Structure formats: C-alpha cells, structure tokens
Amino acid sequence: MLTSLHARGALLSIAIFVVFIGIWHIAVTAGGGPAGLAVDPEYAKLVGAAAAVGQKTPFPTPGEVGLKLWSQISDPFYVRGTNDMGIGIQLGYSILRVLMGFLLAAAVAIPLGFLIGMSPVFYRALDPFIQVLKPISPLAWMPLALYTIKDSQVSSIFVIFICSVWPMLINTAFGVSAVRREWINVAKTLEVGTIRTALHVILPAAAPTIMTGMRISIGIAWLVIVAAEMLVGGTGIGYFVWNEWNNLSLSSVITAILFIGLVGMVLDLMLAYAAKLVSYVE
Amino acid sequence: MTAFDDPFNPEIRLGGGCSCGAHTTQAAHDAETDPIAGSSDVETLMARSVEIAVMKEMFGPDVNRRAFLRTVGAGTALAAISQFFPLAAAKEAFAQTMGPIEKTKLQIGFIPITCATPIIMAHPMGFYAKNGLDVEVVRTAGWAVIRDKTLNKEYDAAHFLSPMPLAITMGAGSNPVPYTMPAVENINGQAITLSVKHKDKNDPKMWKGLKFGVPFDYSMHNYLLRYYVAEAGLDPDTDIQIRAVPPPEMVANLRADNIDGFLGPDPFNQRAVYDGVGYIHILSKQLWDGHPCCAFAASKEFVTSMPNTYQALLKSIIQATAYAAKAENRKEVAEAISAQNYLNQPVTVVEQVLTGTYADGLGNVKTDPKRIDFDPFPYQSMAIWILTQMKRWGQIKGDVNYKQIAEQVFLATDAAKLMKEAGLTPPASAMRNHTIMGKVFDPTKPEEYVNSFKIKRA
Amino acid sequence: MASRPTITVEGLGKTFPGARGGSATTVFSDIYFGVEEGEFVCLIGHSGCGKTTLLNILAGLDKPTAGGVIVEGAEVIGPSLDRAVIFQGHALMPWLTVMGNIAFAARSRYPGKTKAEIAAHCQKYIDLVHLTGSEQKKPSELSGGMKQRVGIARAFAVEPRILLMDEPFSALDALTRGSLQDELTTICRETHQTSFMITHDIDEAILLADKIILMTNGPEAKVCEIVINTLPSDRTRADLHHHANYYPIRNHLLEFLVNRSKHFKDEISAATYDPRRPPMTRPAAVPVPPPRVAATP
C-alpha cells in the first residue's frame, strides 16, 4: 500500500499522462485507416503518403512527436546556417531577449516605483499615465517600435520591456508605500539617512512585494516573447513555432510548445526561489 | 524565350550519346532541354556555346566545374572552345571591372519560395564566395517584414516582389525611398491553387464569394489574379475577397479553411498538393508566359555608395540565375535549396517545381519544363505593365510617367552590361510587347491599355 | 533656582483637523510635566487620551499643535539618537537577525566602529537581556517576550540619554511581562536611565515608576494629577504587595482609572485647578519616606 502522498500523486500524474497519450494516439490513427482511392504509383511518389490516398496529411501521432523530441534533445545546439539552428539555440535567443527586456524594465521600474511609493506627489502625477499605459497590449507597441527604433531585435526587446515594466512598477510602488510605519519610525529615531533608510529598511521590507511583481513580469514577458517573435521573425522559439506551423510540421510545433512550457516553468521557479530568499515572516 | 536556351545542340555531331553526356541518347537530352534552341542557325549557337562555356569557366572548381564537365562533355570541347575564344583574356577583362569590394559581409533577406532560387542557391553553391562576398542569407517571414528590414538597413539587399521597388520608389504603402531593381530573378513559377473542397470549381466564373490569398498587395500575384478573374467577368474587389497572406502561411491557411485558394509562389502550390490540401488550378505561365515575379533589389543608396560590392553581388545573382536556368542543373539546385536552412521543404516538392514534372493534386502527373524559369533581364516594359495595373486598381492615382519610373527603377542597362561581362546575351531592347491571356500589351501606349479594360478602378 | 528637568513638557496640545470639513478634534491640551535626570516616569490613561501621540511628540516623530517639549535645554524638532524608543509592537525588522537588528541601531550611533567592534558592542546588550545564543535567529523564530527583549536591547544599544517606551509589554502574557518588568527594573536602576513609559497596567507603574502621571479621558485630555510613588526604591515584584503603601497607591490609581478619569471636568471647575501645576499626591498608609529624587518644581 502506498502511504506517501508524493508517490500517490506521481502515480496519478503518470496515469493521466498515459491516458492522454493513449487517447491522442487512438484519435489520430483511427481516422486515416482505410485507403480512399487507388492512385497511379507515379503520382503517389510525388505527393505525401496521405495525399496519395486522397487524404490530408494527418495530425502527428505521439510516437512521431516523441521521435522529433528525441532528435531535438539529442542535438539542441547545432548551427547549420542562419536559418537552421537547434532548438536550444532558438530558446537561447528567446531567453536572452526576455532577460534583456526584463532587466531593463527592472532597472527603470524599481527606482521609479520607489519614487512613486515614497512621494504622494509623484504618485498623483504619474498615476494617470500608468493607468492609461498599463492595459495596452504589449504587441500593440510593435509597429510603433519597428517604425521608430528601426531594428527588429531591439523592437522585440522593447516590447518585453514595456510589458514587464508595469507589474514591477506597480508592485514596487505598492510595496514601498505599504512598508510598516513602525520600521520607518525606528529608522527615524535612529537618525538614519534617507538613502540608508531606502536601502536597508524600505527595500528589504518591500522586497517580497517587488519580487512578486518581478515574477508576474517574467511570466508575462515569456508569454509575449513568443508572440513578438512570431511577428518579427528571424530567430527565437516564437519564430520557430510559426515557421514550423507554416511548414505544416506539427510535431515540431508540439515539441516547441512543450519547451516553451518547460522554460516558462523554470523561469518562474527561479524567481520563486529568489522571492523565497528575500521573503520574511512577520 | 530566355537568354539561356541550350546552346549545345550543334556539338552532338561530334560524337555519340548526347551533348552533355548525361543522357544515353540525344532524344533524352532534348526532352530535358529547350527545343527552341534547335531552331537557331549554327553560327549563332556556336558563338553562344562559347560564351556560356567561358561563363562556366568563371565559376571555377567544385560543383560548378562538375556541372561544366557534365554539360560540355569531354575535354575536347574545351580545346575546341579555346580555339575560338581567348579564355585568359576574357578572364582578365572580367577581373578588371571589379574594384576593391567596399563591404564583404552582407545580409540578404529572402522569402522561402522557389522564386528566390538564385539568391538562395548562390550561398550553398558558392556564387557569393566566388565574387569575394561573405553573404548571410536570412529567411524572412513576409513581404512587409522584408521591406521594413531592408528600409531599416538590417538587410543590405533583398528578395523583393518585382512591383515592390516601384511601389517603394513612388511611396505607395511606405515612405518613398529611391529603390532599384537591377535584376529579375525568375519568370513564371506561380500558380493558382484551390482547396480540395473546390475540386468542382475549375472555372473562375464559379468563384463568386471565394476568399483568395496573394503574397502582397504590390505583387504580380495580385495583379495576375485580378486580371484573371476580371477576364472571367468577376470584379476582384467586390465578387471575391483578396487578402495578403505571407507565402509561407498560405498552405496552413488553406488547410485551416481561412482561404479558399491562393495565387501564390512555389513551392507552396506544390506543397498544398503534397499534403493533400489543395490542387493546382492553373500555372501563372498559362496566363502570361514569361511574366516577371520576384526580383533582386537594393536601395539606390547601396548602389551608389558601394558600387563594387553592388557589382559583385549582382554578378553573383546573375551567375546563379544563369546556372538555375539550365534544365539539367535543376535537380542539383532543388537539392541544394530544399535544406532546412533555406526553403525547409521536402526535396521532392522543390524538385517538382523546378523540373516541371509535377502532381497536380487531382491525380494527374503533368509536365511543363517552363513552369518556372530564370531570366535576370529587367524589361522596362514589364515595369510599365505593372504600373498600368497599379493604376488600373487604384493603387496609384493621377498621371503616371510610366517610362521614367520604369527606367529609374528597372536597371536594364546595368543588368545588360553584367550579362555581357558574364558572357550572356541580353536582349537588344528593354522594351517589348507582352501577351497576357491572349491580349497584347504595347508598352508605348500604357494609358490606352489601362482604359481598354472594362473592370477597373481608375 | 532649581536645575531644569531633563524633559520639560510645556503647554503641549494636539488637535487633528476634522475629516471632510467636520469639526477639529483636540486630543489633549495644556499638558505640563517634567522628567528629572535618572527618573522613571509612567503615564497612565485610558486609550483614546492621546498617550501614543504624546510619546511620539516626545520622540520627535510627531509634531504638537500647541506648546512644546524641551529636552536638555533644546526644543524637540525631530527624532534623535538621544531619545531611544521601545515600541508597542516590537518593531523589529523581520528580515534581520537579532544581532542584525541591534547592529542596525548600534551602527547608527557609532558609524565609525568596525564590524567587530559593533558586534562586541551588541553582544553586551544581547547578554544583558538574556538572549545569548539567539544572536542569529530571525524575529519570527522568537517568542513575543524574546522579541521585546531584542527591542529593549536595541534601545539600550544606542546608549540614549532618555528611554521612551510605549506600552512595551502590553502584548505579552502576564508571566512573560513580569519577568521582563523585573529585568527592565534592574537595568534602569543600575544605569540610572532617564525613562518615560506609557502604560495602562497599574502594577507595572507602581513597580517601575518614581512618578505616575494620570491623564483624563480624551478628547481634551488633561494631566489630572501626578502621583509620587511612596514605596521604597528597592521594591521588587515579589515583595511589592507586602508593603503597607501598596494598596493605598493601587486603590488611588484604580479609583482614578475607574471613576475620576471620566468626571475630571467637574473636578477642574470645582477646585482651583492649574494645568501648569497639576496637583501632586503621595498616597500612603505609613509616613512617606523621604523622596528618592528632588521634588518637582
């Protein structure tokens, strides 16, 4: 009998996975069973296996996807030309863009959030802008970015910047303004200067809230980069997905989706770990 | 007829087998090559064979030399040629035209379609390297993107649709930037593909209400599709829907039922057949045999600020175009450009497009060696036709100085000069009459031509 | 002329503007009292009489709307390291360890000291409040009493001239409160620390204070009277209630909290009450021993 909650959970996970794969396999293979019409073998040689029997190329089976996955994992970092690079390289480009846009956003949002959180005047002055700019879909900035920046790489980084800046800005401002009065008072009675108070009292006090903002931001950034790369093209996992879809190579699309999910999870776990480092129990 | 019709027919009299050595009989050879060549007189053909042999010698070793040997056959041919033509002197003359190259590392954008064959194949087959260039060919998602990246100077030069440089120069759809089109890449090579669910609608008169994809608003595809349906009595703006779909997305959209058909570039017509999604209704060659499609284009600034780079680049493209034009090279070219780094297509799909022996999606195997062809010469009369269609469909308004714009953008003189240097024969005039669906177009009377159509916006 | 007290509170008043155009509320007004060097003063009053506001004004964290506070000859205009505060909630920074919290204060007082010197300095006060061994613990790992001990150590670590305490033990259970009171008593007596504490615990006031200020209920709270502790200065929590004066004081204070604080307004109008010199009482069953400190002016 299984007593461990972990073991039972894992068993159920595996069971769900197996059932899912089974249903997928049956659903895909069931449709394309009997041959439609017999065709000239000369003609059959020129078209795909499904078209030769009057069918459309079907959805890939789990086995085909597994094979694709294996070939991608076994050689993830090859570069065979500008337009033919391993999945690891594609993911690397996307991660690099996300990190650049994200760090840039953090460099702007955290100091600005401090200012807004500490100064009611700034809060009132900037609030209308934030409220209007925040709900804009980051991809809506893309044409404007392409037009003004005139560089598709920088434009996609800009789009990441613009989508990650708001959660961090708002959370920082909130975290800073919500720092307990007592701690500020302690610092005041100890005649601690503004900078030292900001760095040693407000920053650590607001850090968990700021980290939450950063975690939301990186999640959004990772969602947006895929869409941005589909628009801009060139490199990156988003372009890879679009390209493989255009090429009707659904196995690659599925494996890419899997990788996108995994990388998103890893990014989230990393920030969750960082958040744990700065969190405190009151 | 193109500038690269097979020149080797006379040589068959020298020995057994075929002239290129790749076929057991001359009949088999002829089946793969152009029968028109046989009609020219012996003297002309001999001269051209020499010129082409010299051009091939320029290509140097490796793949190209193998191709050369396969084409010309034995070393005796070489010996024969050198009697007529001073090879060393020719080499020198060719080298003299090349000054030091201002910029060797270049980025060239392309759309993954067979129209881009010369631009693409010049990379794996070494045409760029041979001319001292280190070119990176970058696959690009769509025409608007390739236009913007070229205007933003991310690309030094790019694969354009031939109407695009005209549109950019005139500021239609973008800010006006002086653009040049020194070479056409391909002629023909497009087709109308319909979804398999429209197998019965084999007449454009039955197309009312269908949705069609074309690569771009400023494309031969758009103008040809409009022309075709208008000839069938449908108004392309009201009776059918035409939307711009980047070529790579056409098959996926056809499969997803977002469009009912498309007039698009290959290999996507053939790919639709390969995947059982669509069938080829008509080849664009059947609408206008020899129509231009895609082009190699660069900004006027690039041409004037880096003339030697430009020349080396243009030379690479013209050499590649010449190589691709030969029917016997097509299989090799198909293999080279099908790779994931370039077109990313099954080889058989690209091969069917380039060789012209193809499955039509209705169970028939058809043959048309001129399904796609390659001819670099930018006839200015073609530019004028494009302008008349822009005018016809209201993309440009008011008076158009057809000839001036055509001359400014379609750099026929440059192409002619380089073609001559490369040992090719450019046509004597950049202006000629064209026949589109049986109707003759006279480039000297563009305004009358526009007015002759019943369905138009102008 | 008598020497000036360490703290002089003169005519202090605090009025909050009315919210949304409502009438303004005067929490307290006309508060006068003094705290002598080395004296321990407690202030007792019901909640709502502005005790915490008063303490914040003494600390320099809040500003009065009338009158002022003079500490060692200078008017209070802001917080100062010379006036350490022990807050009601311990106000420890939860992301710092015990040592970190105390060192944060010590470094503010002695910015020139090296890391090791600061650590040694802090260790002294950690030992003083019996937290030896818990230096590297975070506040969340400590019990309520231990947390407040850190608060005390932090206040003492800046070696202030005056210690201000805002109901420091009110959140603790009775047993813990008792032992902390004992420790505070010991430390304050040993160091002759000038201290001012707000409390609503009568026994705490009797144990710790030399002088107990009684404040009436707000709004418009006033100092009702000042009670001089008549118990011997070496009193402890254990023997406190055996002393004959214990119940008189306790009853006096209780009577004040239960009855008089509500009806003090009547007392003012009846008697010749001068807010500048609130009446002083020495509730006792036996003759009052000589005062431990010099009489207030």
Min Cα–Cα distance to chain C from A99, Å: 28
Token pair of C41, please?
A: 């003063």
Spatial CB neighbours of B107, under 8 Å, sequence gap ≥ 6: B135, B136, B138, B154, B155, B156
Domain A87-278 CATH assignment equals 1.20.1440.230: no
CB-CB contact of A252 with A261 (8 Å): no
* Spatial separation of the C-alpha atoms in residues A281 and A274, rounded to whole Å: 15
The confidence band for C295, taking pLDDT boundaries of 50, 70 and 90, is very low
Q: What is the pLDDT of residue C291?
A: 52
Rounded to a whole number of angstroms, the CA Rg of chain B reads: 21
Can you name the residues that pair with C166 across neighbouring β-strands? C198
The confidence band for B116, taking pLDDT boundaries of 50, 70 and 90, is confident
Can you name the residues that pair with C194 across neighbouring β-strands? C162
CB atoms within 10 A of CB B82: 15
Please write the tens of the pLDDT for every residue from C118-155.
999 999 999 988 899 999 999 999 988 899 999 999 99
Residue A99 has pLDDT above 80, yes or no: yes
What are phi and psi for residue B434, nearest 5 degrees? -120, 155
The confidence band for A110, taking pLDDT boundaries of 50, 70 and 90, is very high
Residue B458 has pLDDT above 80, yes or no: no
DSSP strand pairing (C66-71 vs C223-228): unpaired
* Spatial separation of the C-alpha atoms in residues B36 and A152, rounded to whole Å: 48
Residue B14 has pLDDT above 50, yes or no: no
Can you name the residues that pair with B192 across neighbouring β-strands? B263, B282
**Strand residues in C113-179 grouped as ranges (E):** 162-166
Name the residue with higher pLDDT: C260 or A115. A115
Interface contact B352-A83, CB threshold 8 A:
no
The rounded percent of chain B whose pLDDT value lies above 90 is: 9
Name the residue with higher pLDDT: C171 or B277. B277
Residues of A in contact with C100 (CB under 8 A): none
Nearest to B351 by CA among B271, B261, B235: B271
**Weakest-pLDDT range from A137-141, B3-7, C169-173:** B3-7
CA C283 to mean position of chain CA atoms: 21
Question: Which of B136, B257, B258, B275 best tests the A interface by mutation, with the highest count of A CBs <10 A?
Answer: B275
Min Cα–Cα distance to chain C from A184, Å: 9
Residues of A in contact with B177 (CB under 8 A): none
**Strand residues in B111-189 grouped as ranges (E):** 134-139, 157-161, 179-184, 187-188
Q: What is the pLDDT of residue B280?
A: 92
Spatial CB neighbours of C223, under 8 Å, sequence gap ≥ 6: C31, C32, C33, C213, C214, C215, C216, C275, C278
Q: Helices C144-157 and C174-191: crossing angle, nearest 10°?
A: 20
Nearest to A263 by CA among A228, A210, A225: A225
Strand order in the sheet with B278-283: B241-244, B211-214, B261-265, B190-195, B278-283
CA B192 to mean position of chain CA atoms: 17
Rounded to a whole number of angstroms, the CA Rg of chain C reads: 20
Chains that touch B (3 or more CB pairs under 8 A): A
* Residue of chain C whose alpha carbon sits nearest to that of A190: C81
Interface contact A151-B154, CB threshold 8 A:
yes
**Weakest-pLDDT range from A140-149, B96-105, B228-237, C23-32:** B96-105
Please write the tens of the pLDDT for every residue from A50-83.
777 777 777 888 888 899 899 888 888 888 777 7
Residues 268-297 of C with CB under 8 A from A: none
What are phi and psi for residue C201, nearest 5 degrees? -100, 110
Q: What is the pLDDT of residue C287?
A: 60
CB-CB contact of B95 with B146 (8 Å): no
Residues of B in contact with A245 (CB under 8 A): 252
Max intra-chain CA distance, chain C: 63
Interface contact A84-B340, CB threshold 8 A:
yes
Can you name the residues that pair with C86 across neighbouring β-strands? C165
Q: Coil, helix or strand for C93?
A: coil
User: Which of B7-11, B142-146, C119-123, C181-185 tops mean pLDDT?
Assistant: C119-123
Can you name the residues that pair with B292 across neighbouring β-strands? B187
Q: What is the pLDDT of residue C296?
A: 46
> B272-295 b/e with 16+ CB inside 10 Å = b?
bbbbbbbbbbbbbbebbbbbbbbb
Interface contact C108-A191, CB threshold 8 A:
yes
Token pair of A86, please?
A: 């391993």
Token pair of C70, please?
A: 């003079």
DSSP strand pairing (C194-199 vs C162-166): parallel
CB-CB contact of A103 with A267 (8 Å): no
What is the rounded average pLDDT for all residues in chain A? Answer: 87
What is the rounded average pLDDT for all residues in chain C? Answer: 86
CB-CB contact of B284 with B437 (8 Å): no
Q: Which domains does chain B have, with CATH numbers?
A: 9-96 (no CATH), 105-187+292-342+375-451 (3.40.190.10), 188-289 (3.40.190.10)
Tell me how long chain A is. 282
Please write the tens of the pLDDT for every residue from C209-237.
999 998 888 778 888 889 998 888 888 88
> A249-264 b/e with 16+ CB inside 10 Å = b?
bbbbbbbbeebbeebb
* Residue of chain A whose alpha carbon sits nearest to that of C110: A190
Q: Coil, helix or strand for B291?
A: coil
DSSP strand pairing (C83-86 vs B278-283): unpaired
Please write the tens of the pLDDT for every residue from C41-50.
999 988 777 8
* Residue of chain C whose alpha carbon sits nearest to that of A280: C95
Nearest to A110 by CA among A165, A42, A68, A151: A165
Interface contact A57-B345, CB threshold 8 A:
no
ipTM attached to this prediction: 0.84
CB-CB contact of B221 with B191 (8 Å): no
Q: How far is CA C284 from CA C228, C230, C246, C256, C260, in A?
A: 10, 6, 8, 16, 19
- Give the DSSP letter string of B308-348: HHHHHHHHHHHHHHHHHHSGGGHHHHHHHHHSTTTT-S-HH
**Weakest-pLDDT range from A245-259, B244-258, B268-282, C260-274:** C260-274
Q: Does residue A135 have a cis bond before it (omega within 30 degrees)?
A: no
Q: Which domains does chain C have, with CATH numbers?
A: 1-80+163-169+194-297 (3.40.50.300), 83-159 (no CATH)
Average pLDDT over residues C65-85: 91
Token pair of C197, please?
A: 């504490």
Average pLDDT over residues B311-340: 85
Average pLDDT over residues C52-70: 91
- Give the DSSP letter string of B332-401: HHHHHHHSTTTT-S-HHHHHHHHH-EEE-SSS-EEE-TTSEE------HHHHHHHHHHHHHTTSS-S---
Residue B4 has pLDDT above 60, yes or no: no
What is the rounded average pLDDT for all residues in chain B? Answer: 76
CB-CB contact of A50 with A250 (8 Å): no
- Asked if C171 is an interface residue toward chain A (Cβ–Cβ < 8 A), one would say no
* Spatial separation of the C-alpha atoms in residues C7 and C71, rounded to whole Å: 5
Domain boundaries, chain A: 1-31, 87-278
CB atoms within 10 A of CB A88: 15
Name the residue with higher pLDDT: B263 or B39. B263
Q: Name the helix (H) or strand (E) containing C28.
A: strand C25-35
In the DSSP assignment, the letter for residue B292 is B
CB-CB contact of B425 with B373 (8 Å): no
Please write the tens of the pLDDT for every residue from B191-209.
999 998 888 888 888 898 8
Burial class (CB within 10 angstroms; exposed 0-12, middle 13-18, buried 19+) of B231: middle
DSSP strand pairing (C66-71 vs C162-166): unpaired
Secondary structure of chain A in the HEC alphabet? CCCCHHHHHHHHHHHHHHHHHHHHHHHHHHHCCCCCCCCCHHHHHHCCHHHHCCCCCCCCCHHHHHHHHHHHHHCCCCECCCCCECHHHHHHHHHHHHHHHHHHHHHHHHHHHHHHHHCHHHHHHHHHHHHHHCCCCHHHHHHHHHHHHCCHHHHHHHHHHHHHHHHHHHHHHHHHHCCCHHHHHHHHHCCCCHHHHHHHHHHHHHHHHHHHHHHHHHHHHHHHHHHHHHHHCCCCHHHHHHHHHHCCCHHHHHHHHHHHHHHHHHHHHHHHHHHHHHCCCC
CB-CB contact of C70 with C64 (8 Å): no
Q: What is the pLDDT of residue A274?
A: 93
pTM score, two decimals?
Answer: 0.74
CB atoms within 10 A of CB B107: 17
The confidence band for A13, taking pLDDT boundaries of 50, 70 and 90, is very high
Rounded to a whole number of angstroms, the CA Rg of chain A reads: 25
The confidence band for B146, taking pLDDT boundaries of 50, 70 and 90, is confident
Chains A–B, number of C-beta pairs less than 8 Å apart: 108
Q: Coil, helix or strand for B107?
A: strand
Please write the tens of the pLDDT for every residue from A150-206.
777 888 899 999 999 999 999 999 999 999 988 999 999 999 988 999 999 999 999
Residues of A in contact with B277 (CB under 8 A): 56-57
Q: Helices C115-128 and C144-157: crossing angle, nearest 10°?
A: 130
**Strand residues in B66-165 grouped as ranges (E):** 105-110, 134-139, 157-161
Q: What is the pLDDT of residue C55?
A: 92
The position carrying tokens 């026929």 is: B412
Q: Does residue B267 have a cis bond before it (omega within 30 degrees)?
A: yes
